[in-house]
Amino acid sequence: MSAAEPQTRPAPPAAPADGSALTRPRRKERQPALSRAQIVAAAVRLLDAEGIEELSMRKLGTGMGAAATSLYRHVTGKDELIELVLDEVYGELEVPGAASAAEWRDAVCRGGHELRAMALRHPWVASVIGRVGPARLGPNLMRVSERMLALFRTGGFPADEAEPAMRAVISYVVGATTGEAAHLSLLARGGRSEQEWLEGRDPRKLREENFDYGLQRVLDGLETRLSRG
Cα distances (angstroms) measured from residue 87 to each of 29, 110, 182, 190:
34, 20, 21, 29
| pLDDT tens sequence across 212-222 | 999 999 999 99
User: Given this model, what pLDDT does residue 15 score?
Assistant: 52
- pLDDT at residue 18, rounded to an integer: 52
Evaluate if residue 183 carries a pLDDT over 80: no
Q: What is the DSSP letter of 24?
A: S
CB neighbours of 220 closer than 8 A, spacing ≥ 6?
A: none
- Checking if the pLDDT of 22 tops 50, the result is no
Question: Which of 131, 222, 127, 145 lies closest to 181 in space, CA to CA?
Answer: 127
pLDDT of 21 > 50? The answer is no
pLDDT digits (tens, 9 = 90+) for 127-180: 888 776 555 789 999 999 999 999 999 999 999 999 999 999 999 999 999 888
- Is residue 3 scored above 90 in pLDDT? no
40-78 pLDDT, tens per residue?
999 999 999 888 889 999 999 999 999 989 999 999 999
- Contact (Cβ atoms closer than 8 angstroms) between residue 90 and residue 138: yes
Residue 200 has pLDDT above 90, yes or no: no
